[in-house]
């Protein structure tokens, strides 16, 4: 794979991160439509009955509903071949129901690592490892 493709993939990942940090559901959905294959393979600890790009849109809808000020800070990015790996810190204030926990007003800060696989200039597969234990502990769930 050419270095240009690796650079382009990193730029696409950055563009998606900018969109999710906008906090605007329409911007996020439009960006997902532009950057993600419709049949995205999405592997992450999120309970839902959807697949493809729709699943990713639903994840962001749920997150924005629970944490309207959610912000993803990219700490590290590693790109090689058709993959981009990002280690992130996620922060937000719990203002809506999340995983059965009613709004607490508490702030959360937790880590996650995502691996994005690209195909023909779009994100075709995502693997996510999210520190759900820290997230839920900070919300007071036991």
CB atoms within 10 A of CB 51: 13
Q: For the beta carbon of residue 56, count every other beta carbon within 10 angstroms.
A: 25
| Total H helices, total E strands in the chain | 4, 5
**pLDDT confidence bin for 1, thresholds 50/70/90:** low
For residue 7, the domain's CATH number is 3.10.450.50
Specify the pLDDT at position 133. 94
**49-107 pLDDT, tens per residue?**
778 899 999 999 999 999 999 999 999 999 999 999 999 999 999 999 999 999 999 99
CB atoms inside a 10 Å sphere around CB 80: 10
Which of the 8 DSSP states describes residue 54?
Answer: H
Whole-structure pTM value = 0.92
pLDDT band at 47 (very low <50, low <70, confident <90, very high): low
Q: Which one is predicted more confidently, 129 or 48?
A: 129
* Pair of tokens at residue 56: 């990713």
Identify the domain containing residue 31 by its residue range: 3-138
């Amino acid at each position: 794979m050419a270095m240009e493709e690796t650079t382009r993939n990193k730029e696409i990942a950055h563009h998606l991160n900018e969109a999710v940090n906008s906090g605007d559901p329409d911007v996020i959905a439009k960006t997902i439509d532009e950057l993600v294959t419709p049949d995205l393979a999405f592997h992450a600890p999120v309970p839902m009955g959807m697949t493809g790009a729709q699943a990713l849109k639903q994840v962001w809808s749920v997150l924005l509903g629970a944490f309207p000020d959610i912000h993803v800070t990219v700490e590290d990015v590693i790109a090689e071949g058709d993959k981009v790996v990002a280690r992130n810190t996620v922060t937000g204030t719990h203002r809506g129901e999340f995983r059965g926990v009613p709004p607490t007003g508490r702030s959360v800060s937790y880590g996650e690592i995502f691996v994005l696989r690209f195909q023909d200039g779009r994100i075709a597969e995502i693997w996510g490892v999210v520190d759900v234990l820290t997230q839920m502990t900070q919300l007071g769930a036991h």
